Amino acid sequence: MNNRSGSLRSLVLANLGLLACYFVAGRLGLLLALPPGYASPIFLPAGLALASCVIGGARLLPAVALGSLAVNLVYPFLSPGGVSATAFAGACFPALGALLQAWGGSALFRRYIDPAIGSGRDVVRFVMLAAGVTVINSTVALTGMTALGILSWDTVAFDWLAWWMGDTIGILLAAPLTWIVIGRPRALWSRRRLLVGLPLLLSAAAFIAIYLQADRWENNQQMQTFRLKAQQTGDLLQAQFSEHERFIYAMAKALNDPRRVLSAEDFGNLAHGYLDQRPELLSMAWLTPVAGGERAAFEAWGRAQVAPDFAIRDRGPGDALAVAAPRERYFAATYIEPANNRVFQGQDFLSDPPRRAALERAIQSGQPTATEPLQLLRIQAGAGLLLLQTVYPNNNRHQAIGSLLISMQFDAYLDQALKRSEFGHFLMRFEDMDDDGPRHTVRDSLHRAAGPGDFQRQLHFGGRIYELTLAPTPEYLRQQRGWQSWTVLICGLLLTGLLGTLMMLISGERARIQAQVKDSTSRLREREARLQAILNKAADAILTIDGDGLLMSANAAAGRLFGYAPENMTALPLDRLIPVGVGEAAGLDAAGLLRMIACGVTHEYELTGWRSDGNEFPLAMSVSEVELPDEHLFVAILHDLTAQQMAQERIHRLAHHDTLTGLDNRLSLNLRLDQLLAQTRRAGGAAAVLFIDLDHFKKINDTHGHQTGDLLLVAVAQRLQELLREVDTIARLGGDEFIVVTSGSVTPDEASNIAVRIVESLGAPYHLEGKTVHSGASVGVAMFPSDGEDGSTLLRHADTAMYAAKSQGRGNFQFFSAEMNSATHERLMLENRLWQALEHNEFELYLQPQVELASGRIIGAEALLRWHHPELGMVGPDRFIPIAEESGLILPLGDWVLQRAARLLASWRTPELAHLRLAVNLSARQCHGAGLLPLLDRLLAAHGIDPALLELEITESAAMQDPERSRALLVELRSRGIKVAIDDFGTGYSSLSYLKLFEIDRIKIDRGFVKDIESDPDDAVIVAATIALAHSLGLGVVAEGVETLAQRDFLNAKQCDEAQGYLYARPMPVAQFEAMVRDESAADVDLSPA
């Protein structure tokens, strides 16, 4: 219980002490505050709060909040109105900001900074913390106070920067001073009293003195500017007063002729000429003296000449006008301009004491005379003033003709004068100081007694004395503040931060060095033990050798490398381990060899090592020369290169040889080819480059698997190596492509013999893992130098010749010729333009009619693709279809044809065209691709066509590439209602055995059989048997290439169903075909030739 009460008492005392210190330091700081007195350039409580919370923790935060609240309530408490609700709320925001700033800053300090602040890193972090954490209080306090209207949004940026700088400097100054008193570790902070505390105090004092001097000079500059403006404003007011006096006096002189009768019109012209240029004046009036006995006549004249209700009136209670009481004399307002001021027309100015007193003074003095401040009839609030000037006949002051009057409102008059001064930053007090009575305050925006810096001046008007007091507004003081104070603030911040940083670094460096020295000895011993352990664990051999070439020490790895026990290697001569004085080191001793290696260009020196059993091995050695005061040493690091050399040999083989076959790869081929061509060129001979491509390799790979394909490639490599000489170069480029380069001079005949042997050898069956595989080879031959001067040209020409060999039926060879090159260029040109043709819409569908033989009517058409190139003209299908198949463009081309065919069928819904069937050829790639069926589903759904009108033709060879896959595709097509036909029937192999398994609707007899049925009995028998076989299976038959009447009659006799060919029509554009069908329907024409 006693411990708890003691702790509570200590906590309360600590908070009270911090609260007192905070309040005192805050009051001192606000003495230096920038206008309007909330932001100080040095606010020490910020540093006091941060340092205290770093030591005491969050328990001291109440003192911080209450201290800030007390500091910010001093000004409102001392003001006349006391502490308002707004002032109290405004003081709460700085209290909240100070609490959050102290709490956040202390938390960050304890997390990231060593309390000793002895290193450069900690000092930098402390400075960054001071600059960063002070953003909290300046933002929270100014946001709240500005929102409450205590501060202006116009100056919030300046106030925020001043607040932030004051807190930042306060932390940099006060925090170290606080830690010197209560900081930990106490030993270090106690030593910093003189080294850190005294310089900081002197720096702060110097900074405050410099700031006060700069602030005083700046205030003097501001007040000089203000006094100049105030003097100009006073002069302007006096000038305006004097102008009105001169005018009314001059006007009185002009009206002093007693014979002149002043009319209302004359008076209005005179008055408006002056009033219109001076909006600060209210009115001008003419007062007429009337004797008591002449009142009735005067009022009658007034009703006739001035106003129908004109009468002499008195001013009564509440400024109300009533009929004047009988008197001996009156001074009545007769003419008044402007018209809106005629509310006091007829008023007797002798009925109101203030007005009577001024009028009597004007009559007596003959000079312009002003009334005391009084309430005018037109003015609801504020004081007014009247200026009177009596008019005498010919300067006879014993009998007045009348009196001129000018009325003005003080507030409007003073506002106009301030506006003309073009300076809107005045606080003003304007007082009437007439000696006859107490001062009368006309206007007071100052609300305080005049200060030493205020401007005061007496003004004279109408025989009265006024005192003008002007003071600058707080906004003016802030706006006119120059950069001198800012310069002092920035320089002070830099000076204080750098000085504190330097002092704390210096004071902490000694402690850090002492700790380092104390730790050095033990760490040195540990390092020596650790070094020996590391040397023994090192993978490389490490030797220490003296200047005579004797070993001084060796680690465990050195013993393993050379086959000795490490302790037995001491004093062993170096030449027992490595050769000395040979090769580049000939004539050098062991020290000379080591020095040569140490000074060498290369990092390591490769040489041969000797093990203890006498075996040699490759090793690398690097040497460092060590110069010590009493001895000269060499440190050598050695490692075995045996595994590295084996790895390099393997890498070299992998880089230059094919991993599967062991033959040279492309890189090695290019190097070898350049060497052989250079040798042949020097010898003046000839060489041959043979490009070999295996036949049916892809089919073997797909059918038997990639493992079988790899075994085939290995077998091909073996046969080539057995067939050719060792000096010849054999390389595999990749896939199923091989290159042979002959060594020595070779004639074309010899190259031809080599090609024949290669074709024969590679065409023999292969027995691979119990399978017999048949392949072959197509060989292209290019001769050096006739077919090319360099390797790349020869390889390209040999490749061209190889493709020529393939085009002639595979399993043969071809020599390169210029015609082949032209054909290759044409093929490349067509391939390049073919890719662009589809994008440029250069393709068109032609249709060739299909005719029913029995009736001779058109029942459908076959869609045929045509290419219209803008430069090449019409390109035949025989030229571009093979290229499209090889390049892969056949797939998008096929899709385009199907899309066009679907649109055609959708457009054939008229009675003349609705019965037509449209046949479209499918390529082998389309049949075996995965996109055909989804495309057909989309087209059927999009165009709503009858699938029975779409017939897809698949060549017999395409169907027989993969019969099972083809059968599955045909089943899917038939399930959708699409008709299927086998095209070019009779040109494939084993077709009859699969025919009954395929889901098809008709077969198309190849034109090769149809064209010879008149002359070749065998073809006639084949055609007849095909028709009979198809009919027996329920299939329709279409004969292609029908060109003669005899062919038609034969087919008709054999009951062939349909025919197409030049006998009926050539392929034609769509529009021409549609016109032909419409003509046939209209005329019921039989296309069958007579």
84 compared with 314, residue with greater pLDDT: 314
Does residue 650 sit within a domain?
no
Does residue 822 sit within a domain?
no
pLDDT for 480 = 60
Task: Read off the CATH number of the domain in which 628 is found.
Answer: 3.30.450.20
Among 227, 223, 271, 283, CA closest to 247 = 271
Structure tokens at 389: 């000037």
225 and 366 assigned to the same domain: no
Does residue 189 sit within a domain?
no
Task: Read off the CATH number of the domain in which 52 is found.
Answer: 1.10.1760
DSSP 8-class letter at 197: I
19 and 48 assigned to the same domain: yes
End-of-domain residue from the set 587, 613, 644: 644
Does residue 382 sit within a domain?
yes
Task: Read off the CATH number of the domain in which 367 is found.
Answer: 3.30.450.350
* pLDDT 10s digits, 688-716: 999 999 988 888 887 788 888 899 999 99
Expressed as residue numbers, the domain containing 715 is 657-816
**Percent of all residues in the chain with a pLDDT value above 70, rounded to a whole number:** 88
pLDDT > 70? residue 530: yes
* pLDDT 10s digits, 657-681: 888 888 988 888 888 888 888 888 8
Report the pLDDT averaged over residues 90-112: 88
End-of-domain residue from the set 614, 644, 674: 644
414 compared with 797, residue with greater pLDDT: 797
pLDDT > 50? residue 1090: no
- The mean pLDDT of the chain is 82
1023 and 881 assigned to the same domain: yes
Task: Determine the Cα–Cα distance for residues 832 and 843; give it in Å rounded to an integer.
Answer: 15
601 and 672 assigned to the same domain: no
pTM above 0.85, yes or no: no
956: left (phi over 0), alpha (psi -120 to 50) or beta: alpha
892 and 991 assigned to the same domain: yes
Task: Determine the Cα–Cα distance for residues 496 and 41; give it in Å rounded to an integer.
Answer: 13
End-of-domain residue from the set 382, 399, 422: 422
Among 198-212, 336-350, 404-418, 531-545, the minimum mean pLDDT is found in 198-212
pLDDT > 60? residue 762: yes
Among 666, 665, 669, 687, CA closest to 678 = 687
Q: Could you give the C-alpha distances from 880 to 460, 687, 796, 814, 873, in angstroms and in order?
A: 114, 35, 22, 23, 13
* pLDDT 10s digits, 544-553: 888 888 888 8
Structure tokens at 12: 């309360």
Q: Which helix (H) or strand (E) holds 1012?
A: none
Does residue 579 sit within a domain?
yes
Task: Determine the Cα–Cα distance for residues 1030 and 540; give it in Å rounded to an integer.
Answer: 85
Q: Could you give the C-alpha distances from 612 to 151, 642, 825, in angstroms and in order?
A: 94, 17, 69
pLDDT > 80? residue 69: yes
Strands (DSSP E) found in 200-268: none
Tell me which range, 465-474, 576-585, 641-650, 901-910, is most confidently predicted by mean pLDDT. Answer: 901-910
417 and 432 assigned to the same domain: no
Report the pLDDT averaged over residues 495-509: 69
Task: Read off the CATH number of the domain in which 787 is found.
Answer: 3.30.70.270
pLDDT for 586 = 64
Does residue 649 sit within a domain?
no
Does residue 195 sit within a domain?
no
585 compared with 176, residue with greater pLDDT: 176
425 compared with 99, residue with greater pLDDT: 99
385 compared with 594, residue with greater pLDDT: 385
Does residue 199 sit within a domain?
no
* pLDDT 10s digits, 836-862: 788 888 899 999 999 999 999 999 999
883 and 967 assigned to the same domain: yes
1032 compared with 804, residue with greater pLDDT: 1032
The structural domain count of the chain equals 6
Kindly provide the b/e burial profile for residues 47-70, where b requires at least 16 CB atoms within 10 angstroms of the residue's own CB. bbbbbbbbbbeeebbebbbbbbbb
924 and 1043 assigned to the same domain: yes
pLDDT for 990 = 42
448 and 551 assigned to the same domain: no
pLDDT for 35 = 55
Query: What are the phi and psi torsion angles at 639 (to 5°)?
Result: -145, 150
pLDDT classification of 388: cutoffs 50, 70, 90? very high
526 and 551 assigned to the same domain: no
Task: Read off the CATH number of the domain in which 1039 is found.
Answer: 3.20.20.450
pLDDT classification of 1036: cutoffs 50, 70, 90? very high
- Long-range (24+ apart) CB contacts under 8 A made by 867-872 are 867/834, 867/837, 867/842, 867/843, 868/842, 868/843, 868/844, 869/833, 869/837, 869/842, 870/842, 872/833
696 and 608 assigned to the same domain: no
935 and 1055 assigned to the same domain: yes
253: left (phi over 0), alpha (psi -120 to 50) or beta: alpha
* pLDDT 10s digits, 189-235: 777 776 676 777 777 777 777 777 777 777 777 778 778 888 888 88
Task: Determine the Cα–Cα distance for residues 910 and 147; give it in Å rounded to an integer.
Answer: 82
Q: Which helix (H) or strand (E) holds 409?
A: strand 402-409
Among 109-113, 422-426, 993-997, the minimum mean pLDDT is found in 993-997
